[in-house]
Amino acid sequence: MKRRRSITKAKICLAFFLSLTIANPILPRASACTRLIYQTGNGTYITGRTMDWMDPNAQTALWVFPRGMKRDGGIGANPIKWTSKFGSISTSFYDIGTADGMNERGLVINLLYLKETDWGKVDEAKTKTLSAGAWGQYFLDNYATVEEAIKDMANPPFAILAPALPNGHAAGIHLSISDASGDSAILEYIEGKLVIHHSRKHVVMTNSPTFDQQLALNTYWEKIGGDKFLPGTISAADRFVRTTHHLNLSPKYKDQELAVASVFSQIRSVSVPLGMSDANNPNIAMTLWRTVADQQSKIFYFESAIFPAVSWIDMNKVDLSEGAAPKTIRIERGNPLSGELSAKLVKAEPFKWLGVK
């Protein structure tokens, strides 16, 4: 009898979710990256993400940027200018922007695809501008904590310009930031306005629908109970629910190696198999790589879906001082990486932001 009730309940849950899918056709297509924040047993934090994209040949590199770099927004009539306050380790995407990174104070940024992004109209004569490719790096360069960043964004010092990506698809993205204290925020441009979701409870993020709708869907599934039934597709809504459930159940390891391994195991569990993609919907895509940022130890881990090993850069082993040269290492097939990479980094000119000729 109990088994029959469980099966019936599962069918009801499935029917309900299918009704949501029919009512909102965005949901089954909205699958790509996943990001989570894990609290260790020592009260420190680790942020992990998957990078899911339709183009397996998208150029990727790991970068080390020092303090004191002169930067600008790259495009527009009046690009914003700044000097980096903090050194950082970053992952570049298509050699036109920072997709992930951690600075020396433990602030982590992750950019994820968001189909609903609407940057709004920009009056370049009156507003300083910033390339979408520079959005994440601006935060790494300027802020030590989420609180600092959110206060600044109450009146954003720039508007974002977002030309198409090199593969022709729109640069629709939303930004997550987390810091060494476990604080978290999600930033989205919806209907031309910056919307900020700021809470230490925002430990999971995926893609479409917008973050407020993701929270609502997750509330429903929490009532069902993940030990009985969990949605299993690769859609963003399903991955949000599964990631939240796994994160809540995961032990808070005091052993740092086990803590990092826990984050890797969780983001691997929501990765998308290599080769799965939809040419008309770049947000339905395979996992190309995963990053894990240990915000206490200041170690930035990288795992390619192709290479059979994990590599990392220990921030304590690189020169982040003002005047130091930026350094990089390419992520390329035929050149598998593993282990600590600081000795393999080479000096290089920083990449140009999206839209810069």
| Pairing state between β 129-131 and 159-161 | parallel
What one-character-per-residue DSSP string does 15-67 give?
HHHHHHHHH-TTGGG----EEEEEE-TTS-EEEEEEEEES-TT--EEEEEE-T
Distance, CA of 185 to CA of 151 (rounded, Å)? 12
Spell out the alpha helix ranges (H) of the chain: 2-23, 135-142, 146-153, 211-224, 236-249, 256-269
* Region label for 143, one of left (φ > 0), alpha (ψ between -120 and 50) or beta (otherwise): beta
Active site residue 33: yes
Q: What's 79's DSSP letter?
A: B
Catalytic residue among 13, 26, 33, 107: 33
Cis status of the peptide bond prior to 273, with omega within 30 of 0: no
| Pairing state between β 108-113 and 327-331 | unpaired
Phi, psi at 313, each rounded to 5°: -120, 125
Distance, CA of 259 to CA of 97 (rounded, Å)? 29
Distance, CA of 38 to CA of 260 (rounded, Å)? 9
Residues with catalytic function: 33
